[in-house]
Amino acid sequence: MTTDTPHIAPTFDREIEALLAQLVLMSGLVERALVDSATALEAQDTAAAERLIAADKAIDALDEQINLDAAGLIARRGPTASDLRLILAVMRTSASLERMGDLAKNVAKRTLPLAQARQVEGATGTIRRMAKLVAVMLEEAMRALTRKDAKLAAEVRGRDVDIDQIYNTLFRSLLTHMLENQANITPSMHLHFIAKNIERAGDHATGIAEQAIYLATGRMPEEARPKADFPLSPKGMG
């Protein structure tokens, strides 16, 4: 996966490849978890939600294994320069992915009570779109990481603001729902937390993109990422 010249010790290259393979596997599982949890939410499929909650264990196990292997690599190989940055980036990305997995699990958890409650028009559809966007962000952030592509990573980083704006819109509409009818409050609150989780997942995906930039250039990106997550108060809503 790395496009650098090989190490004089090919075993070292193989160990790094194995580590990255595990990371990519983990990110695939997280992508699936995000999309599937949103789909299960929309379809009110509690059985699928239960399965998703159980499947999070696999993600956690991968995180643990990656940390162990990374520690072993540091102890045995004493990596420096780009190798060191790679190992550090892998460890931080694994932590982000594990959080993202937890966030997807929380979405699935909230699907269960939501299946009983009143439906909010169009919310789950928006949420599914959000989740899909985050999954794409994650996929591209991972590609930027494995290819050490700083440009792609910067571009992914810029898309976080879109996720934020979708969240803001959804927040305002949920607020409106809650103000309309008190009976909507419970489901709306659940939906809000779900949306927040997805937005947080987007932040983590952005973090992975920033690790990719650190790996490629040796420096964390200086400018703060563009954010828009404090929604304006609905002035015109009374």
Partner 1 sequence: MNIMQTPVIDAAVLKPRIAASGVQVHYGTNHALKDVSVDILDRTTTAFIGPSGCGKSTFLRCLNRMNDTVASARVEGKILLDGQDIYDRRVDPVQLRARVGMVFQKPNPFPKSIYDNVAYGPRIHGLARTRADLDEIVEVSLRRAALWNEVKDRLSAPGTGLSGGQQQRLCIARAVATGPEVLLMDEPCSALDPIATAQVEELIDELRERYSVVIVTHSMQQAARVSQKTAFFHLGNLVEYGDTQQIFTNPQDPRTESYITGRIG
List residues near partner 1 by CB under 8 A: 4-9, 12, 78-85, 218-219
* Closer residue to partner 1 in complex, CB, 81/232: 81
Cα separation, 64 vs 34, in Å, equals: 20
At closest approach, how far in Å is the CB of 75 from partner 1? 12
At closest approach, how far in Å is the CB of 16 from partner 1? 11
Are 206 and 92 within 8 A, CB to CB? no
At closest approach, how far in Å is the CB of 146 from partner 1? 17
At closest approach, how far in Å is the CB of 74 from partner 1? 12
At closest approach, how far in Å is the CB of 236 from partner 1? 50
* Closer residue to partner 1 in complex, CB, 5/233: 5
Are 31 and 138 within 8 A, CB to CB? yes
* Closer residue to partner 1 in complex, CB, 219/235: 219
Are 209 and 156 within 8 A, CB to CB? yes
Q: How far apart are the first and last CA of the chain?
A: 55
* Closer residue to partner 1 in complex, CB, 18/54: 18
Residue type at 7 in one-letter notation: H
Nearest CA to 137 among 114, 120, 119, 154?
A: 154
Cα separation, 141 vs 127, in Å, equals: 21
* Closer residue to partner 1 in complex, CB, 10/236: 10
Q: Output DSSP code: residue 122.
A: T
